[in-house]
A and B are shown apart, each in its own frame.
Chain A
Amino acid sequence: MPRKNFHIVLVASVVIAVFPFVWLPLMSFFSDWNYPNILPGVLDVQQWKLFFSGQQDVRHSFLLSLAIATTTATLSTAVGFGLARTVSFGSRRKQGIFWSLLPVTISPVLFATILAFYFNVAGISGTVGGVMIAQLLIAIPFSIIYFTAFWTPRVMHMEQLAATLGSTPYQTFTQVVLPYARPFLLVCFFQTFIISWFEYGLTSVIGAGQVQTLTLKVYLYVQEASPSLAALAATLLILPPALLLWFNRQYVFKPLGV
């Protein structure tokens, strides 16, 4: 391929990748976007003013999504880390991985339809707690699969070596395993946060319309034909992952040699 075309493809790829992060924030300032104007005559800051002053549902949804995603990521990383050790070093490793893989690969909305009956019976449908438990049912299996790559015989040998040298199980865990696992824990937290932050199908079914996270708001505003509000909610959804990706780039891009 000629060198000029070679660069055009790369530049086009970067433009396509970046464009949503330019267009969606810009669109959140549109008050009326009449056809065939490419851009509206004036940009309106009203939606953002309402957001910052707290007089808008989007702010509540943003904080709710943040709380749910942070809690889900923290719990699933901690629980998954421990369970993955049991799965990895246990005699039923294959079964453990298989049953962990299932909730991760099933369509979340269909997984929710399977769970809905039990959540109704337990009386936790339509509650924030119910949504968090449902999300944990996906995030914990994901963590287990993720951490099976960490709990290798090498780690087991490190634990055994520490024990041989007189360390207690608590000391081995806090002074040997945890420092070694730190990058794994950070990436897992990042990924489970993203799983929860992006979740739509499961939350819409188990939340029963009562738990309005940001992803649900985007869909709601699209249905209400309020594109600028949908763009505002979409902007709030895409900025935190972009920032997390930037601050975690040393772990995400490290294998690429970046």
Chain B
Amino acid sequence: MSMQTLRTTSGAGWVGQLAEAGRARATRAVFIAVGVAVAYYVGARIGFALTAAPTPVSTLWPPNAILLAALLLSPPRWWAGILLAAFPAHLAVELGSGVPLSMVLSWFVSNSAEALIGAVGVRRFTDRPTQLDSFRQVGVFVVFAAMLAPFLSSFLDAAFVQWNGWGTDSYWQVWSARFFSNVLTILTLVPAIVTWAARDLESLPSVSPRRVLEATALAGGLLLVCTVVFSQPGLAARESPALLYAPLPFLLWAAVRFGPGGASAALLVFSLLSTWGAIHGRGPFVSRSTSDNVLSLQLFLIVTYIPLLALAAAIRERAQAMSDARRTGEWLNLALGAAQVGAWDWDLLEGSRTWSENMPVLFGLRRDENGKIERSSVLETIVPDDRPIVQAAVTQAVEHAKPYEVEFRTARPDGTVRWMLSKGTVVRDQAGRPRRMLGVSTDITARKDAEAALRSESALRESEARLRVLADAMPQIVFTAKPDGTVDYINRKWHELTGSPPGDVSPDTWLAAIHPNDRAAGTESWLASVQAGRPYENEARIWSAGAGTYRWHLARALPVRDESGAIIHWYGTATDIDDHKRGEQALRESEWNLRVLRSELETHVAKRTMELSRANSTLRQEVEVRRRVEQALRSSEERFSKAFRASLDAISIVSQPDSRILELNDRWEAMFGYSREHAIGRTIDHLNIYANERDREAIADLMRTRGYVHEYELDMRHRTSTPLRAVLAAETVEVAGEPCVIIMVRDITERQRAEREIAVQRSELAHLGRVALLGELSGALAHELNQPLAAILANARAAQRMLARENLDVPEFQAILEDIVSDDRRAGAVIQRVRALIKKDETELHKVSPNDVVADVLELAHSDLIQRAVVVSTRLAPSLPEVQGDRVQLQQVLLNLIVNACDAMVDNPPSLRTLVITTSERGGAVRISISDSGTGITTQPIDAVFQPFVTSKRHGLGLGLAICRSIVDAHGGRLWAVNHRGSGATFHVLLPGATTAPVMAPDVAQAAAIPPV
């Protein structure tokens, strides 16, 4: 404030700078006082210079204006000081020009009064320092400072002049001269001082050179024009109007381009020059008397001043308003941008829209080639589903005056969808018609996302809770796992079973409940399933706390996937399969035992077979030797005797007439236990080597009738009565002209024993085969047996209930009893059949009907065939010869072939599981054929399928067909197989008729038996 004051008093800013350097308040006050005094004094001198004599009033009286400006620029508490400082200057000026003291004092009073009135009026009606940069300030200034103050003070001044008797003019002349003079002075000087005092000198150097150039041009032009106009001597009055307006363009230029400061400066120059011209009788205002000239000049200047000042203020005000508006806009955009809020303004009548700068970014609006936002793109950014909602909201707001508030989604050009919230209000004109709609939009995607997340999370939690209640109610173990396989839930059943604390699903706890031997494999296969995302299945033992043992469980788990196929969760169950598992194990163990038994048996059979073949080869050797001996006998007695002695058969030569023993060999001695000396000379009868008299007689008979005996098998005995089985051959020969009989005996006791043993083994093996077969059929047989048992039980219970009633339905009751009896028989028959098969009998040969055997076997297999969905058809020849054989073993063969056929068809669809059993006669023999539509025989050659341990079954031993073949062989028959050309195979069993010879010519028989397919 003090700075401004100082500047004002000096009229230039450099004094202000000095004052600033002075700092101290007192110093500043002194400076101000001195400044005001100096300015007052200088101003007064100028005023005197511009006073047109003889008027006591100056045309332009600066001191008053300077005093007013000083008061306007300083706070009221300074005013007294300022007036005091001006007083000496006033005295000095006025007294120096010879004015009486009373007049001098009077003028000071009137001048001070004027300054005070103006300053008080302006201060009262403006609220900020006077800058004259607004219309209001100019108005207040003109009314109070420029008009009212001179108007009032001039009354005082004129009165003082009259009172002192100064001058010659009348009261009103003085009043009007002073009024106009002071109005002009105030208008001329105060604006210039006030505006320039506010100017900061420091900012001047930063003014652009162009501006300086313009100001210079303006000043030069104005000076030139004013000089030309106002210094022209004796200008004709009639020419003046045109010239008078020549400076106006420059004044307007200053007002428009340089504001109040420029305008006031230009006006100052203009008025000084015009006044100077008018006083010195030059320029357009020189016409009549000087006072008239001055008055018209003053009026002219006053009239020019006020509009120009107003114009400059208006222009400055507008510029200020524009810059304010610009700054407000910038702030708004800044605020909107920071808050992510877009604002918009929609002119409903014209349809034009205005958006805040960030709206295009918020909405992802398109711009056309001119950079303007395309109007249509606003609606397009809204997701099509939400457009009706937005439009409905707009309609509601415009037509029904509802507040506009709508949430909708927008699709960005990059494809992302954002949630927006728009709020707005409709602006209406006085008639209530909607004119504009104003509003803001903001991105609420984050809030929406959070809400959605919250909602889905709670829904998930709820459904999970429901699932858990359900899972806890289940009798099985139920568990769930995260996509990485971490178990995150196991139901109550688990905790009840294992005794682990409820809710504890940590891997350590649940792994501890699994059998140590199953942990690694279980974990491994679980992880493999999790990794591959395929269903998990595993068997493991789980600790049962209640039972105190581990129980087998079957665990299964399935992945649940989301739309993209990614696994969300695993759901699994574990079911107790312990009973089932133990059953399986028991079965495996029994199978194993059977296998061991069989293999032992097989070894035994092989050993015996070897022994037998060794015996055979020995026999062959012996035959050869004997042949040679005979040859030798015929050729040479010497060779005969050697051979005779060396023979492995017991040889004796008996005289035919009296049966006395003539000669015998070493082997004979050993075989019968008699020494040579003891035997020779005695008869055979005497030695009693025949076990049965019958044989002796038969041999004698044969010798008598035919003269020889070949291969006669008989029982003989050692001297010690040890029985011998032997083969005897006898021939009549002539030795030294005497008819003799040469008898050869071969001990076959050992061989026969081996043969018998083999037969026993074979029958045992067949029995084992039957047992195994029954094992395979056990399920079906149980069913077969349970069927009648169930019927009996139900019937019996029904009968009991009937008995409990009053009137008994006797026929029905009888029917029940009959059913019970027949079911009992049915069950008995099943048991009989099974018992027959399972019985360990010696082979018994009977006459058997092949068709009966087929029927037996189908009864046994009935249930099994149903279960395997195999359809059986039979083509049985009506009149077949009977065969000689063991019924049970033949059943076994057929049953085995049927089971094999079913196994071969297990992978066929049910409609293609057909089994055909055919019986037919083939030249006195009977052929039974079993055809299937299965996989056929894969062994090469086909016949290899009958070798032991050749099997295509998973659990088979490969003994079944080998046993079948040995059975059929033992029956003197043949068993062979052929593959069908399509699928399947046929097994043929050819058995000799009971009345015919064994089928000994396999080649011929086979040729006749092979089916044409």
Asked if A pairs with B, the answer is no
Chain A residues proximal to chain B, CB less than 8 Å: none
Chain B residues proximal to chain A, CB less than 8 Å: none
